[in-house]
C-alpha cells in the first residue's frame, strides 16, 4: 500500500510542478472563479463548450499543491468529453473524496483521479481537492457568482 501511496504522491507533485492546461483559454465561452478561504486557494476555470462537448479547458490561479494538482488532473480528465460525461465524473470524484478513507475506491472508474483518494484522511484537504471541480460545475451551469467552498 505504501508503494501505491508513493506513486500517488509522485503524480500529485508532478502535476503541481508542471500543471497541464495552465493559463487563459483563448475562445473560452464559459468561465468561473473558485475560492477556498480555508486554505487560500483561488482559481479560474475556462471552458470551451461546443455542441455539448468540452473542446477546450484551462485553469489559472494560485494555491496549495493539492488544489493545483487536482485542477491539472481535472483538465486532463475532462478534455474532449461530453458535458454529460463530465457531470458523471464530477459525481464520481465527489463521492470518492467524501467517502470514508478506508473504503476501497473504484480505480477503473476514476482513472488518474484516484491519486487524490488520500485527501480523505485530511478533511481540510478535501476542500482543496474539490475546489477545481466545484468551479468547473459552476462554469458548466454558467453560475455568475464566484464559488466558495465555505
Ligand atoms: Zn489548498
Residue ranges per structural domain of the chain: 3-143
CA of residue 17 to ligand 1 center, whole Å? 15
- Please state which CATH class domain 3-143 belongs to: alpha beta
CA of residue 42 to ligand 1 center, whole Å? 9
Task: Give percent above pLDDT 90 in the chain.
Answer: 81
Are 135 and 34 within 8 A, CB to CB?
Answer: yes
Is the pTM for the entire model greater than 0.85? Answer: yes
pLDDT tens column, 79-134: 999 999 999 999 999 999 999 988 999 889 999 999 999 999 998 999 999 999 99
CA of residue 57 to ligand 1 center, whole Å? 21
* pLDDT at residue number 8: 86
* pLDDT at residue number 40: 97
> Under 8 Å CB-to-CB from 115, ≥6 apart: which residues?
7, 8, 11, 12, 73
Q: Which three cell numbers stand for residue 104?
A: 476501497
CA of residue 62 to ligand 1 center, whole Å? 9
Amino acid at each position: 500500500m505504501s508503494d501505491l501511496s508513493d506513486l500517488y504522491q509522485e503524480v500529485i507533485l508532478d502535476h503541481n510542478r508542471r500543471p497541464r492546461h495552465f493559463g487563459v483559454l483563448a475562445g473560452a465561452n464559459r468561465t468561473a472563479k473558485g475560492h477556498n478561504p480555508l486554505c487560500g486557494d483561488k482559481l479560474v476555470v475556462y471552458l470551451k463548450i461546443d455542441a455539448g462537448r468540452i473542446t477546450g479547458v484551462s485553469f489559472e490561479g494560485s494555491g496549495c499543491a493539492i488544489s493545483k494538482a487536482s485542477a491539472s488532473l481535472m483538465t486532463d480528465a475532462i478534455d474532449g468529453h461530453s458535458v454529460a460525461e463530465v457531470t458523471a465524473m464530477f459525481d464520481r470524484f465527489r463521492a470518492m473524496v467524501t467517502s470514508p478513507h478506508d473504503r476501497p475506491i473504484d480505480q477503473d472508474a476514476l482513472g488518474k483521479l484516484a491519486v487524490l483518494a488520500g485527501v480523505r484522511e485530511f478533511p481540510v484537504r478535501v476542500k482543496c481537492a474539490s475546489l477545481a471541480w466545484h468551479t468547473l460545475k459552476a462554469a458548466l451551469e454558467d453560475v455568475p457568482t464566484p464559488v466558495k467552498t465555505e
